[in-house]
Amino acid sequence: MDAPWSFGVEEMVHDYLPDALENPDAPGAVPITASGLWVARKLVAVTARRPERDPAVLHRFGPHVWLNIVLATHVDYWRRGYGRRLKGIVMQEAREAGVVAITSVVDRRNSAMRALNRQLGGVEEAIITDVEPDPDFCRCILPIRPD
Ligand SMILES: CC(C)(COP(=O)(O)OP(=O)(O)OC[C@H]1O[C@@H](n2cnc3c(N)ncnc32)[C@H](O)[C@@H]1OP(=O)(O)O)[C@@H](O)C(=O)NCCC(=O)NCCS
């Protein structure tokens, strides 16, 4: 991964995520749930989520919203459907948990992630910071419809 937004994703997967999972009781820790897809005993894709806390989102959708904090497929396995499959599994888990939407914050240059979200029914919106929309990131809202 050498795209400009990928450094933050690498840091998330290799540092922040293991740390958060290993130390769930650390002061200020938020509950994070991670899932992975293994192929021939190799971890090919990983994702993590936590409850959404943005008041602007909760005001619109209520308390049952997840924030998808990362979704990443190993670069050797890109474009084989693993990202879509893993996010689909999380969407099904959300449905079963009564979650009404999954949000994510996406770098606007990340055309792969934006296309995947759109494919799954996600809708993008601007993130308002103070008074202006964030020029670099957008929020994707993925509605979860009951079965
Ligand atoms: C985004 C990412 C997770 C997609 O994973 P993937 O396993 O390659 O995705 P899939 O094979 O399931 O592709 C599903 C859809 O995503 C879109 N997509 C995936 N890669 C794409 C690319 N390089 N360009 C454009 N669209 C792309 C397509 O719509 C694709 O459907 P299609 O193959 O039927 O056209 C992967 O590119 C990745 O790990 N990127 C780096 C990490 C990252 O930026 N994560 C998002 C921020 S947390």
Provide the pLDDT confidence category of residue 6 given band limits of 50, 70 and 90.
confident
Ligand 1 and 17: CB distance under 6 A: no
1 has a pLDDT exceeding 70: no
What was the pLDDT predicted at 61?
Answer: 97
Asked which of 7-11, 75-79, 119-123, 136-140 is least confident by mean pLDDT, the reply is 7-11
Instruction: For each of the domains in the chain, give its residue range(s) and CATH number, in order of start.
Output: 6-143 (3.40.630.30)
Phi then psi dihedrals of residue 117, to 5 deg: -60, -45
Provide the pLDDT confidence category of residue 30 given band limits of 50, 70 and 90.
confident
64-90 confidence digits (pLDDT tens)? 999 999 999 999 999 999 999 999 999
Q: Best mutation site among 76, 87, 116, 136 for ligand 1, i.e. most ligand atoms within 8 A of its Cβ? A: 116
What was the pLDDT predicted at 130?
Answer: 81
User: Residue 105 corresponds to which tokens in the numbers above?
Assistant: 């914050």
The answer for 39, left when phi > 0, alpha when psi is -120 to 50, beta otherwise, is beta
Could you tell me the distance, in angstroms and rounded to a whole number, from the CA of residue 58 to the centre of ligand 1? 28
Provide the pLDDT confidence category of residue 44 given band limits of 50, 70 and 90.
very high
User: pTM (2 decimals)?
Assistant: 0.94
- Please list the helix, strand and coil fractions of the chain in percent, rounded to the nearest 5, in that order: 35, 35, 30
Q: What percent of the chain has pLDDT over 90?
A: 76
